[in-house]
Amino acid sequence: MEATKLKKSKQRDAILSFLKTRKDHPTADTIYENVRKDIPNISLGTVYRNLALLTDIGEIKKLSFDGTSDRYDAETSPHCHFRCRNCGKVIDVEVDGVLEDILSHAKVPGQIDEQITVFIGTCEQCMDKY
Ligand SMILES: [Zn+2]
Ligand SMILES: [Zn+2]
């Protein structure tokens, strides 16, 4: 589906602009709690539907991790993520040039549409705690 053919939606706009203010890859629940402050009658189902739509048209990215809720990211340029296995936070990671390098060296029997790289470990805050 093309973005230009979509009817404008106040709810979708609110979801997208909220997500653009966040760098912490919030879950649908967090997005719902915040968008509700502006649009009190929005439902969680509507939030999910719009997040799926925004993902489909490439306005946002969905990050799926085993065993936890999906996270959403308004930063659609190629970047990697770091996930803390202790507190579950997801942080953007810059890896200059290396991503393109991996892609050009990957021997894939077909065409690559997307590359998802997640580093897993313990974040600084959690390391301080133990
Ligand atoms: Zn942590
Ligand atoms: Zn990100």
Ligand in closest contact with the CA of 82: 2
- CA of 81 relative to ligand 2 center, distance in Å: 6
pLDDT at residue 52, rounded to an integer: 97
**Element holding 82 (H helix, E strand):** strand 80-84
CATH architecture of 80-129: 2-Layer Sandwich (3.30)
CATH 3.30.1490.190 domain locations along the chain:
80-129
Write out pLDDT tens, residues 78-122.
789 999 999 999 999 987 777 778 878 888 999 888 788 899 999
Question: 21-44 pLDDT, tens per residue?
Answer: 999 999 999 999 999 999 999 999
Delimit the CATH 1.10.10.10 region(s) of the chain: 7-73
Task: Please give the CATH number for the structural domain made up of 7-73.
Answer: 1.10.10.10
Q: Confirm if 44 and 54 have CB atoms less than 8 A apart.
A: no
Residue 2 has a pLDDT of 55
Which pLDDT band, with edges at 50, 70 and 90, does 11 fall under? very high
pLDDT tens readout for residues 42-89: 999 999 999 999 999 999 999 998 778 899 999 988 789 999 999 999
Write out the residues surrounding ion ligand 2, Cβ under 5 A.
Answer: 73, 75, 92
Of the candidates 98, 87, 95, the residue with the CA atom closest to the CA atom of residue 25: 87
Q: What's the gap in Å between 130 CA and the centre of ligand 1?
A: 11
Tokens read off for 10: 């106040």
